[in-house]
Structure 1
Amino acid sequence: ATQFYESIFATTLIPMDLPNIRMRMFPLDDIQNGIGGAVVDSGGFHKPSLTDGPLIYLNANPDIQLILDKVDSAGGSIMVGKTEISPENGYMAVIIDTEGNRIGLHSVAP
């Protein structure tokens, strides 16, 4: 999944491996005030799902469509295309990554 996320977000994830855990962190400019995330493989602890579990949203600013345009070529798929939440709250979409995880995307209103 690392290559998928690096491709759609045009970034390089940072390796932060631990014993028996492979972790790749999203770069974070302001560690004190920003919100980061990681792609983690810890063996059997997590089972990918298209329907179960929480739906985690990732920041797709400045334009969610720029991310969605890269999903198919990176090996993922779009479950819900760009959808307006409201004029004030921007847009959302749901994608399926290369590991079968359902991931939400959000971008603010222009």
Structure 2
Amino acid sequence: MQTKINWFEIPSRDFSRAVSFYESIFDCKLKIEETGGPRMGIFTTLDEDSVGCVIHGEHFAPSAHGPVLYLDATGSLDAILARIEPAGGHIAMEKMELPRNLGFIANFIDTEGNRLALHAQN
């Protein structure tokens, strides 16, 4: 059996700050859900499918020392990288070309202290 990511959750200490950061760097609007449990700022595809979220709640703690989630930045990696520091984040690993035409990657620390990564095919 093979698998793929079908949902992700990025923990936040300050929900509004985290939502603002991701909206700024990806130039998008997250869909805010307040269900009485954890607060979520949901990332959606162009078809409005939910794919993951920024989350805030009792059992969610940001960390730079866990698994690294790679977010798709195809066609906009340089633009996203340029928006990270002005939005309050930090570039942890500059853009790097992967071997064998596998594209480009970069790592960043968000406003909450989470380490995430970006991947772009070109």
TM-score normalised to structure 1 length: 0.86
Cα distance in 1 between the residues matched to 2:27 and 2:76 = 13
Q: Deviation above 4 Å: which 4+ runs of structure 1?
A: none
1:1-110 superposed matches below 5 A = 1-30=18-47, 36-43=51-58, 45-50=59-64, 52-109=65-122
Residue 31 of structure 1 deviates from its aligned partner by 5.6
Q: What CA deviation, in whole Å up to 9, does each residue of 1:1-52 have, x standing for no partner? A: 00000000000000122212100111212367xx722111122x122222x2
SS in 1 for 2:98: strand
Unpaired segments ≥5 residues, structure 2: 1-17
SS in 2 for 1:3: helix
Q: Percent same amino acid at aligned positions?
A: 38
Aligned-residue RMSD, C-alpha: 1.6
Cα distance in 2 between the residues matched to 1:66 and 1:86 = 22
Unpaired segments ≥5 residues, structure 1: none
TM-score normalised to structure 2 length: 0.78
SS in 1 for 2:20: helix
Cα distance in 2 between the residues matched to 1:30 and 1:62 = 18
2:8 match: none
